[in-house]
Chain A
Amino acid sequence: DTAVSQTPKYLVTQMGNDKSIKCEQNLGHDTMYWYKQDSKKFLKIMFSYNNKELIINETVPNRFSPKSPDKAHLNLHINSLELGDSAVYFCASSQGYAGNEQYFGPGTRLTVT
């Protein structure tokens, strides 16, 4: 009974391709997030949705487009992949968004060659 799940776990692709990562949570939370963890293990917020509405949109290239079809799902589509996009992408969820504890998915390791 996985709380926050992501697919795929690993993604290897070539520069210029378009790819998507999917996230689902079964915790009944109303807020979901995408984080990027780079090679130095620094974890940084990218996007957040509350009740399907975008509430945090960090300065990321507009090649990254999140989409939340419902409260339990948050997907991330990346166009025209670049070498610098290689990282681990984590999805997370929380109930409310004002500093409440967030629960993370297992991560998707994206490698762009």
Chain B
Amino acid sequence: EDKVVQSPLSLVVHEGDTVTLNCSYEVTNFRSLLWYKQEKKAPTFLFMLTSSGIEKKSGRLSSILDKKELFSILNITATQTGDSAVYLCAVCGATNKLIFGTGTLLAVQP
């Protein structure tokens, strides 16, 4: 069965810190891995990764995929209080369904 495991479950940091969020997965016929940020409402799309070793970057956020070791990381540098959210990782395989992890709750303190 396809599975996504995220770690840590929760994290508290101070503004300016750098954080790394982890996502490991098991999926049949991997198609893509996606990262979302969920604040109070809808998950908002961050990145989609399909190839190993190619970093995707958007401002202070970046992500990379390792298809051999079956994991991805999401990095956030110089964290701000506005980065506080649940970060969700999802993978898509042969079923064409997005399978979500339980998320990492990030709290950035001033």
Contact B48 A41 (CB under 8 A): no
CB neighbors of A among B29-55 (8 A) = 31-32, 34, 36, 38, 41-45, 48, 50
Q: Give residues in B with beta carbon < 8 Å to A.
A: 31-32, 34, 36, 38, 41-45, 48, 50, 86, 88, 90, 92-93, 95-98, 100, 102-103
How does the 8 Å CB contact mask read for A69-109 relative to B, with 1 for contact and 0 for none?
00000000000000000000010000001111111111100
Contact A41 B103 (CB under 8 A): yes
* A101 CB contact (under 8 Å) in B34, B38, B88: B34
Interface CB pairs A-B, < 8 A, 28: A40-B102, A41-B38, A41-B86, A42-B102, A43-B43, A43-B90, A44-B100, A45-B97, A45-B98, A56-B96, A56-B97, A58-B97, A99-B31, A99-B48, A99-B50, A99-B92, A99-B98, A100-B48, A101-B45, A101-B48, A102-B34, A102-B98, A103-B45, A104-B43, A104-B44, A105-B42, A106-B41, A106-B42
- Count how many pairs of residues, one from A and one from B, have CB atoms less than 8 Å apart in the complex: 55
Q: Which of B44, B92, B95, B97 has the most CB of A within 10 A?
A: B97
- In this assembly, does A12 line the interface, its C-beta being within 8 Å of a C-beta of chain B? no
Residues of B within 8 A of A100 (CB): 32, 48
Least CB distance, B59 to chain A, in whole angstroms: 18
User: How distant is the Cα of A47 from the Cα of B50 in the complex, in angstroms?
Assistant: 24
Least CB distance, A37 to chain B, in whole angstroms: 9
Least CB distance, A47 to chain B, in whole angstroms: 11
Q: Which residue of A lies closest to B42 (CB)?
A: A104
